[in-house]
């Protein structure tokens, strides 16, 4: 292979017919899979690193290296084989990536940014240092109820590292919630009186060009703390939507981000926007862009990290999205029920991640429904949410 990073500068009129670039992805989950498909569509070769040989992304990539996200040798193998390396998960060893970057390898989003974002304390401190509104917090190394009481109830405790999909997040409303305390270095955050949870996808390339997507409204499944139903455009005023998009762009600029970012925020009952957290990668709340926007979040990410022009973020029509997650209490070979109903629904697009094993609440796929009106899209999505389910058969 002869491609070089000079071909990725974005201003060259001539590009190699193939590969356009060799893209490394640390993490072979569904985000990596959807990223891989778009990278290949643009003519890139893709090299994935994941501990599981049949990873969702590995199955569609050009190559997969099997290895853990803290295995310096395996990470090096991927980075050295590629023009640009990125990731689909934030829980990877940022120091290893920083060492490789210092040797001259291109890694986006930058390892220094990853080190801040993967630690919820450093992330919150960074937001505050850049005057970005966020819920007040304190750091607690060895959390106790006395610390919680001193901070004040109700509060939300968050493990500094390693959390995802609500794991590593605990609500403490009073002294009675003693069993909810997580015993790890954490932050205590003031509980926000939430009117609505919103998210904005933001793309920024190495030239500082920035593009924001329409605001998405997120409804969570209280059982699993997983994103349950998403709709876009969010049912808020145009001026609030503009404010949310501008704030999300400020967040990504404050982190000097290159790539796609999911900026989660709260609208509180007083009508104020507060930043919750930032994901340095494609985000569940941006999956609808695959079927409803001019350029999807995955292609946008590849464009951003290759220094190519960003695409239009226009939403073609109102869209809703539901996650397909493993039913509680069932583990085994993945079986889907209701696929025919989904395929028979006009405007619905089914995305299956190719995970062989179904586990309770595991993300197995998603469905987007696009329609002429939000009401029509919501009605179809609500029906499909009940009809389409993932189970685990006894044997894998
Ligand atoms: N300060 C807060 N006040 C109220 N609810 C919160 C607060 N922080 C988090 N939550 C709730 O917990 C969910 C998960 O928290 P988050 O920080 O986004 O962690 P994760 O990394 O698991 O996504 C949020 O989507 C929101 O519903
Ligand atoms: Mg979150």
pLDDT for 228 equals 83
Q: Which atom of ligand 1 is nearest to the CA of 191?
A: 3
Q: Name the CA radius of gyration of the chain, rounded.
A: 21
- 300 Cβ contact partners less than 8 Å away, ≥ 6 residues apart: 201, 203, 211, 260, 289, 310, 311, 313
Measure the CA dihedral 11/12/17/23, to 10°: -50
- 123 Cβ below 6 A of ligand 1: no
Q: Which atom of ligand 1 is nearest to the CA of 189?
A: 1
390: its two tokens: 């993932």
Ligand 1 pocket mutation, candidates 156, 196, 274, 361, criterion most atoms within 8 A of CB = 156
The residues placing their C-beta within 5 Å of ligand 2, an ion, are: 264
- 204 Cβ below 6 A of ligand 1: no
Report the nearest-CA residue for atom 21 of ligand 1.
Answer: 164
Distances (CA, A) of 36 to 77, 82, 86, 290: 18, 14, 11, 13
pLDDT for 223 equals 65
Q: Rounded to whole angstroms, how far apart are CA atoms 197 and 245?
A: 14
Omega before residue 109 within 30° of 0, cis = yes
33 contacts 60 by C-beta, under 8 angstroms: yes
Ligand 1 pocket mutation, candidates 123, 162, 169, criterion most atoms within 8 A of CB = 169
Distances (CA, A) of 119 to 92, 163, 279, 329, 340: 12, 10, 11, 32, 42
- 230 Cβ below 6 A of ligand 1: no
- 164 Cβ below 6 A of ligand 1: yes
Residue with tokens 């609030």: 240
Q: Rounded to whole angstroms, how far apart are CA atoms 246 and 4?
A: 35
Q: Is 116 helix (H, G, I), strand (E, B) or coil?
A: helix
pLDDT for 14 equals 76
342 contacts 365 by C-beta, under 8 angstroms: no
Q: Which atom of ligand 1 is nearest to the CA of 274?
A: 1
What tens digit of pLDDT does each residue of 355-393 get?
A: 999 999 999 999 999 999 999 999 999 999 999 999 998
- The CA-CA-CA angle for residues 321, 324, 329, to 5°, reads 145
251 contacts 264 by C-beta, under 8 angstroms: no
Distances (CA, A) of 390 to 333, 360, 365, 383: 10, 9, 9, 15
Residue with tokens 């829980």: 91
Q: Which atom of ligand 1 is nearest to the CA of 120?
A: 17
129 contacts 121 by C-beta, under 8 angstroms: no
pTM, two decimal places = 0.94
- 171 Cβ below 6 A of ligand 1: no
Is the four-CA dihedral 83, 88, 92, 95 of positive or negative sign? positive
CA of 170 to the centre of ligand 1 (A): 9
- Phi/psi for 375 (5° steps) reads -60, -45
- 98 Cβ contact partners less than 8 Å away, ≥ 6 residues apart: 111, 112, 115
Q: Rounded to whole angstroms, how far apart are CA atoms 226 and 150?
A: 30
**Crossing angle between the packed helical segments 72-81 and 94-102, to the nearest 10 degrees:** 40
Residue with tokens 């919630």: 177
Residues (pLDDT < 50) of the chain are: 1-8
- 277 Cβ below 6 A of ligand 1: yes
Q: Which atom of ligand 1 is nearest to the CA of 166?
A: 22
pLDDT for 341 equals 96
pLDDT for 7 equals 46
218 contacts 285 by C-beta, under 8 angstroms: yes
CA of 166 to the centre of ligand 1 (A): 7
CA of 345 to the centre of ligand 2 (A): 30
- 238 Cβ contact partners less than 8 Å away, ≥ 6 residues apart: none
- 160 Cβ below 6 A of ligand 1: no
Q: How many residues does the chain have?
A: 396
Question: Which domains occur in the chain, in start order?
Answer: 5-107 (3.40.50.20), 136-190 (3.30.1490.20), 194-393 (3.30.470.20)
365: its two tokens: 């796929």
- 192 Cβ below 6 A of ligand 1: yes
pLDDT for 163 equals 86
CA of 278 to the centre of ligand 2 (A): 8
């Amino acid at each position: 292979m002869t491609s070089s990073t000079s071909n990725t500068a974005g201003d060259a009129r001539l590009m190699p017919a193939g590969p356009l670039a060799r893209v490394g992805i640390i993490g072979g989950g569904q985000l990596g899979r959807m990223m891989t498909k778009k990278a290949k569509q643009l003519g890139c070769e893709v090299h994935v690193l994941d501990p599981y040989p049949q990873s969702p992304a590995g199955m569609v990539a050009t190559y997969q290296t099997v290895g853990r996200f803290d295995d310096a040798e395996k990470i090096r193998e991927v980075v050295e084989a590629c023009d640009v390396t990125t990731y689909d998960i934030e829980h990877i060893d940022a120091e290893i990536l920083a060492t490789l970057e210092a040797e001259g390898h291109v890694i986006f989003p930058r390892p220094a940014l990853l080190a801040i974002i993967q630690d919820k304390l450093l992330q919150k401190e960074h937001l505050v240092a850049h005057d970005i509104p966020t819920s007040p917090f304190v750091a607690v190394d060895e959390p106790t109820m006395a610390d919680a009481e001193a901070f004040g109830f109700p509060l939300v405790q968050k493990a500094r590292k390693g959390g995802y999909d609500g794991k590593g997040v605990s609500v403490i409303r009073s002294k009675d919630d003693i069993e909810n305390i997580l015993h790890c270095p954490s932050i205590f955050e003031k509980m926000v009186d939430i009117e609505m949870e919103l998210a904005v996808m933001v793309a920024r390339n190495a030239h500082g060009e920035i593009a924001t997507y329409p605001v998405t409204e997120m409804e969570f499944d209280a059982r699993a703390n997983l994103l349950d139903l998403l709709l876009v455009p969010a049912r808020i005023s145009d001026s609030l939507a503009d404010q949310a998009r501008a704030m999300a762009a400020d967040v990504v600029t404050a982190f000097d981000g290159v790539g796609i970012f999911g900026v989660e925020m709260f609208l509180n009952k007083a009508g104020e926007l507060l930043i919750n957290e930032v994901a340095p990668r494609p985000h569940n709340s941006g999956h609808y862009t695959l079927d409803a926007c001019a350029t999807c979040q995955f292609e946008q990410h590849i464009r951003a990290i290759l220094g190519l022009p960003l695409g239009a973020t226009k939403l073609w029509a109102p869209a809703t999205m539901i996650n397909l997650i493993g039913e509680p209490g069932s583990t085994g070979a993945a079986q889907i029920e209701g696929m025919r109903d989904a395929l028979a629904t006009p405007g619905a697009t089914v995305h299956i991640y190719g995970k062989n094993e179904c586990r309770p609440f595991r993300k197995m796929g998603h469905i987007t429904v696009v329609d002429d009106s939000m009401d029509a899209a919501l009605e179809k999505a609500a029906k499909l949410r009940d009809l389409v389910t993932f189970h685990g058969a006894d044997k894998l």
